[in-house]
Amino acid sequence: MQPETQKLLKSFYKILEKERTYSHALGVMYFDLETICPDKAKEDESDVLDYFANRSFKLKNSDRAKSLIVELYARRDELDELDKVLIDKEYEEYLKTKNFTPQFDLQLNRVFSRAGIDWHRAKEASDFSLFRSSLGKVIEYSAKAVDKRENKLPSLYDNLLDDCEKDVLQADLDGFFAELKEGLIDLIDRIKNSKHAIRTDFLSRKAPIYKQQQFSEYLLSLNGFDFTRGCLTTTEHPFTSDVAHHDARVTTHYYEDMVLSNIYSVIHEGGHAIFMQNEPDEDYDHYINDSITNGMHESVSRFYENVIGRSRAYVKLIFPKFREIFAQEFPDVTEEEFYEAINVVTPSLIRTEADEVTYGLHIVIRYEMEKMICSGAVSLDEIPATWNRLYKEYLGVEPTCDRDGVLQDVHWSGGFGYFPSYALGNAYNAMYLDEIKKDLDFYALIESGDFDTVNKWMRTHVFAKANRLTPKEWIVDITGKSLTPKPFLDYLNEKYKDIYRL
C-alpha cells in the first residue's frame, strides 16, 4: 500500500470511529424506545433519535468523508481484503445517499420513526386507519430516497430488496417463491389427510411469567448465548439489537397462556444474538461488522429456532428442565407429546406463531403484497382487504380484525423488502444443514448438549465470511451450490412424514 493511500485510510478510519460512537448511542436509545420508554414519551424520544441519526449522517456525508471514499475506491487495488470490502460497501452507500441533503435524511428518519409509533398505537386499537397515513408516507419517502440514488435499479421494489439482501432481486425470488409455494401446498394437503392426531390441549395453559423467564435464560445459555455480552428483556414485537461489539440484546414477549410463543421467540432471537457475538474481531477492526444481510441473519435465527429447537434431539435435551420448571403447569405432558405439539401443522393467522410448514406461505403472502404495494397495484385503502383475501386463499383462514391481520408485523413502518429474508433464511439453513451433517453427528451432538462443537462449526463455515461476501457468494462458499428451496422442502417432507405418519 502506498503511503498516501495508507494516510487516506487512516483518516477515513477516524471518521468511522466517530460514526461508531453515534451508532452505539443510537442503539441504546432505540432499545430504550422499544422496551421501557413510556408511551407518552415516545415521540420526544424518537425526535432525539432522529437528531443524532442526522448528526451521524452529516458526519458520513461531509465533503471530507465523501472525498475520502471516492479516493480510496479509486485506489482499492492497493487495499487488503477486508479494507476492500469496507470501501466497496462505503462506495455503494455513497452512491445511494450522495444526493441526500441533511434535511431530507432527517425527514426520512422522522417518517420511519413516526410510522413505528403509529403502528404500535394502531395495533393496540386494531385499527388500520390509524396507521394508513404513516404507511403512505413510508411508501412515498422510500420512493423519493430511491429516486435520488445514482446506482438505482429499474424498479422501486428491486432497490428495496437489494438493500435487504444484496443482489437478490425479483427475478431471483419469483421462481424461488413459485417452487416453494407449490411444494408447501402439496405437503400441507398431505398432512391434512393424515389420520394421526396430535395432542394440543395443553398449549394454552397458563404459566407464570417468572417461570417463563427462568426457562428463557436457561435456553439462551444452553445454546451458547453469552450473558456477559448481552441481555434479555421484553418488548411488544421481539427483536435483537446489536448495540455494540460486546452488547447484543435479546427481547421477547411473554404471554401467560402461550408458553411456546416465548420459548421459540427466545430461541429465534437468541440465534440472531449468537451470530452477532461470533462476528470475527477483525471485522470490527476494519469496520465491516454488521454487514450481514437479513437473509443470512434469518437463516441462523431460524436454524436455532427450528432445525435445532424443534428437533426431536433438542426436545429430548430440554424436556427434563421444562418439566422441572413447569412441574405444576404441565405434569401430564410427555416428551413425545411435547415434541409433536411444537411441530403441529395448523394454518393460522399470525406469522410469528406459525409452524415450520405453513410459515412459508405467510412469507409468500407478504412478498406478493409488497410487490403490489410498491408497484401501485393496490392502494392504501385496499391493503387490509387484499391481505385478508390472500390469507383466505393460501391458508384457508381469514382475519377478523386488523391486529391479527395487516397490523400484526412492525416491519412496514421501516420500509419494504425484509419479509422475503425469512424464507431465504429457511432455504439457506437447510442447505448448510446438509453440510454440517456431513461433517458432524449433528443431532447426536444436540441431544448431548454439545453446542460448543456445533457453534464452532457455525463460526468456521457460516459466521466467518458473512460480513465479507454477498449472499449468493456466501451460500456457495458454504455449500458449493446456489440458492434453491429444494433442500428445505426435502427437510420438511422427511421430518413431517415421520410426525404425521405420511
Instruction: Cite the active site residues.
Output: 269
Helix, coil or strand: residue 482 = coil
Angle ∠(255,258,260) on CA atoms, nearest 5: 115
Helix 294-302 × helix 471-479 angle, to 10°: 40
Please tell me what DSSP assigns to residue 304.
Answer: I
Which residues lie closer than 8 Å to 438 by C-beta, 6 or more apart? Answer: none
Measured distance CA(88)–CA(9) in Å, rounded: 13
C-alpha cell, 13: 478510519
Going from the C-alpha of 466 to that of each of 13, 28, 222, 474, the distances in angstroms are: 21, 24, 24, 7
Angle ∠(120,124,127) on CA atoms, nearest 5: 95
Q: What is the CA radius of gyration of the chain?
A: 23
- The CB density around residue 453, as the number of other CB atoms within 10 Å, is 14
C-alpha cell, 298: 434469518
Going from the C-alpha of 234 to that of each of 32, 49, 205, 266, the distances in angstroms are: 11, 20, 21, 10
3-class DSSP string for 210-235: HHHHHHHHHHHHHHCCCHHHEEEEEC
Measured distance CA(292)–CA(4) in Å, rounded: 31
295 close to 168: Cβ distance less than 8 angstroms:
yes
Closest listed residue to residue 166, CA positions, set 429, 375, 474: 474
Residue 220 is which amino acid?
A: L
Measured distance CA(143)–CA(155) in Å, rounded: 10
Which residues lie closer than 8 Å to 66 by C-beta, 6 or more apart? Answer: 94, 98
